[in-house]
Structure 1
Amino acid sequence: MHMKSFNKKCILQCIQDNSPISRAEIAVKTKISKPTVSLLVDELIGDNWVLEKGIGESSSQGGRRPIQLSFNEKAAYIIGTDIGGTKVKTIICDLAGNITATSSFTTNQYLQSGLLKQISETVDRMIGEHNIDVNKVLGMGAGVPGITDTSNGIVIEAPSLNWVDYPFIKEAKKYFPFPIYVDNDVNVAALGEQWLGNAKNKKNVLYISVGTGIGSGIIINKQLYRGSTCAAGEFGYMVTDKNDMKNEFKPVFTHYGYLESVAGGKSIGDKFTALIRKESSHPLYEQAISTGLTGEIAFKSAKAGDETALSIIEEAIDHLSYGIINAASLLNPEIIILGGGVLKSSDLIFPKLRGIMKPYLPSSIDLKTSYLGENSGVLGAVSLFLRECESIIKY
């Protein structure tokens, strides 16, 4: 029985990767006998995982033209949810990552009454609105902004959600009737980029998210590397200035690391605010005094040629470059992908990053922005489910 199940998965994977494909071609690629392929393909067609589509070319010897098979990406649906400190975004998509439904709500609004309860209500509404057969929903993947014990389904610490040792999966089971998997949001985004984005077909990947905080997802030989306590990839804790550390370093937020405190979006905004408060003639002076300035405003000002903003951002880029050089030297990835809010200004950041990094790297590395952008979290959550769930579908 185990062998049959294994062969069935292999055949379905082969059809996914190579469709349209004939039964004979599957037998050659998988090295599974033709009668077994034929029998299992018929089962997959009966279960609606595979569709027969048209007739292929006959061989050079002539004979009947083979029937072509393709993967039925509409056979089932998966839910992906990206739980952020500001916003919770949820999607329902098919097996190829085509988004059927999407919905968002602000995190704070439901933090007290229960985020999972609200996600459940959102999912129910989307299923109803789009006439999705609930029996076709395989399950859900979730990304959360914190250190996550994936094997036990516990969020060890997510400061922006006030979660400490939060039993995520246990709570989720109260609201959802299907399997659920959870992981750190940046790990999840890395999986999304490897599934459908700029890291597709890459075995060794470093994904770095630069927002309020800085985190990374590490993929080694196609597998997500989580570390001994699920805290691998805490990129924001890198130290990029030993002198600064000697001066009793204080993080910009409690539980934030050194690099986040000198190169994260929040620290850029805070530094810009502090400097503009000393320049009473600056056009942003009143705003700096009253509400403070954000990292986004700093980048906008830098693009407009503001010298103060440029100096702060250049210093932040220096620190980020040192961190990336250290990580790349250690991990030797094929590609480094940068995502997160700060990367909306990639046109300003990337040329400077590349210029600083190039002389120090042991070998050249492809550096790109996230292809999936704002959907990297939700599609990554779907990818997490597809990887972790022991269903017939396996990525």
Structure 2
Amino acid sequence: MQIKSQNKKRILQCILENAPISRAEIAGKMKISKPTVSLLVDELIQENWIFEKGIGESTSQGGRRPIHLYFNEKAAYVIGTDIGGTKVKMVISDLNGTIIACSSFPTEQFLQTGLLKKIAKEIELMIQKNHIDQQKILGMGAGVPGITETTCGIVTEAPSLNWIRYPFIKEAERYMPFPIYVDNDVNVAVLGEQWLGSAKQKENVMFIAIGTGIGSGIIIHNQLYRGSSNAAGEMGYMVTDKNDMKNEFKPVFHRYGYLESVAGGKAIGEKLTKLVRQNPGHSLYEKAKLEELTGEMAFALAKKGDEIALQVINEAIEHIAYGIVNAASLLNPEVIILGGGVFKSSEFILPKLREIVDHYLPSSVELRVSQLGENAGVLGAVSLFLREHESMINFF
């Protein structure tokens, strides 16, 4: 029985990776007898995992044309949830990563009344609205902005959600009837990029997300690297200027690290505000006196050639570049994917980053912008589920 089930899984995997493929080709590839392949393929068709379509080319000797087999990506669905400090986003995806339904809501509003209860409600609505068979939902993957003990599903600390040792999976299981997996949001994003984005077919990958904070997800030889206490990739704590550290360094937020305090989105906005307040002739002087300017404003001004904004942005880019040089020289990834809010201005940042990184790095590394963009978190969460969940199919 064990062998039969293993062969069935292997045949499904073979079809997933090589479709369209015939029964005879499967038998040849996998060194399993044709009758066995036929029997197991028939079962997979009955169970809706695969389907037959069309008639292939005939062989050069003439003879019967083979029927081709295809993987049925609509055999089941997975929910992906990306919990951010400002917004929670959820999708229902098929097994190919095609988004069938999507929903979001502001985080702050539901932090007190129960975030997971609200997520469960939104999922229910999406299932109903899109007439999805509840039985076809395999489960949910989730990304959270904090250090996470993946084996027991506890979020050790997520400052933007005020969670400390929060029993995420235990809480989620009160409201949702399917298996759930959770991990740090940037770990989840790197899985998404390897599955469907800028790191397809790459085995050693790093994803760096630069928003208010700075974090990274690391894949080594196809395995997500989490570190001894699930805190690997906390790039925001890198020090890229030792002199600055000696001058009573104050983090931009409580418990934030050095790099995010000089190069994160909030830090860029703060620095711009400070310098504009010292320049009464500046177009944003009056605004800066009344309120904090934002990182987005800094990029918008820099693109127009504003000297103060250019100074702020160029300094931040230098710090990020040094962080990348340090990380890449240690890990030697094939590709580094760059994502997060700051990289909405990637066309402005990338050339300057590449210049510094190429200058200092002993072996070159490819720098790419996230292909999945705002969906990196939710599709990464789907990918997390498909990797971790023991089912008929293994995607990685």
TM range (shorter): over 0.9
**Residue 137 (structure 2) aligns with:** 137
Q: Distance in 2 between matches of 1:142 and 1:246?
A: 39
Q: How does 1:109-258 map to 2 (within 5 A)?
A: 109-258=109-258
Offset of residue 77 of structure 1: 0.7
Q: Which residue of 1 aligns with 2:386?
A: 386
* RMSD of equivalent CA atoms: 0.9
Q: Could you tell me the percent identity over the aligned residues?
A: 72
Q: TM-score, normalised by structure 2?
A: 0.98
Residue by residue over 1:339-361, the C-alpha shift from the partner in whole angstroms, topping out at 9 and shown as x without a partner, is: 00000000110000001111211
TM-score by length of 1: 0.98
Deviation at 1:6, TM superposition (A): 2.2
1:79–1:274 distance in 2 versus 1, CA, 3 Å: same
Cα distance in 1 for partners of 2:32, 2:153 equals 37
Aligned residue runs from structure 1 range 1-395, under 5 A: 1-395=1-395
Distance in 2 between residues matched to 1:183 and 1:3, nearest whole Å: 33
Find the aligned partners of 2:171 and 2:378 in 1 and give their Cα distance: 20
**Deviation of residue 249 (structure 1)?**
1.6
In the alignment, the residues of structure 1 paired with residue 47 and residue 381 of structure 2 have an alpha-carbon distance, to the nearest angstrom, of: 25
CA distance in 2 between partners of 1:228 and 1:40 (Å):
42
CA distance in 2, matches of 1:31, 1:290: 73
In structure 2, C-alpha distance between the alignment counterparts of 1:31 and 1:287, rounded to whole Å? 72
Structure 2: runs of 5 or more not aligned: none
State the secondary structure of the residue aligned to 1:173.
helix
3-state secondary structure, aligned to 1:194: helix
Q: CA deviation at 1:16?
A: 1.1
Q: Distance in 2 between matches of 1:67 and 1:348?
A: 51
Range moving further from structure 2, 36-45 or 100-109: 36-45
Give how far 1:26 is off.
1.5
- The CA deviation string for residues 143-186 of structure 1, in whole angstroms up to 9 with x for no partner, is 00000000110000000000000000000000100000000000
Superposed CA deviations along residues 257-313 of structure 1, whole A, max 9, x for unmatched, are 111011100100010011111112211112212121011111111111110011011
* Offset of residue 81 of structure 1: 0.4
Post-superposition offset of 1:248:
2.5
Separation (CA, whole Å) in 2 of partners of 1:236 and 1:8:
45
Structure 2 CA distance for aligned equivalents of residues 211 and 28 of structure 1? 50
Letter in 1 for 2:225: Y
Q: In the aligned structure 2, how far is the partner of 1:260 from the partner of 1:276?
A: 21
**Match of 2:275, as an amino acid?**
L
Q: Distance in 2 between matches of 1:3 and 1:367?
A: 44
User: What amino acid maps onto 2:366 in structure 1?
Assistant: D
Q: Show structure 1 runs of 5+ residues with no match.
A: none
Looking at structure 2, the residues matched to 103 and 299 of structure 1 have their Cα atoms a distance apart, in angstroms, of: 29
Question: 2:258 & 2:4 partners in 1: Cα distance?
Answer: 52
**CA shift at 1:29, angstroms?**
2.5
* Structure 2: distance between partners of 1:170 and 1:95: 26
Work out the CA distance in 2 between the residues paired with 1:334 and 1:155. Answer: 30
Mapped to 1, the partners of 2:8 and 2:143 lie a distance apart of: 30
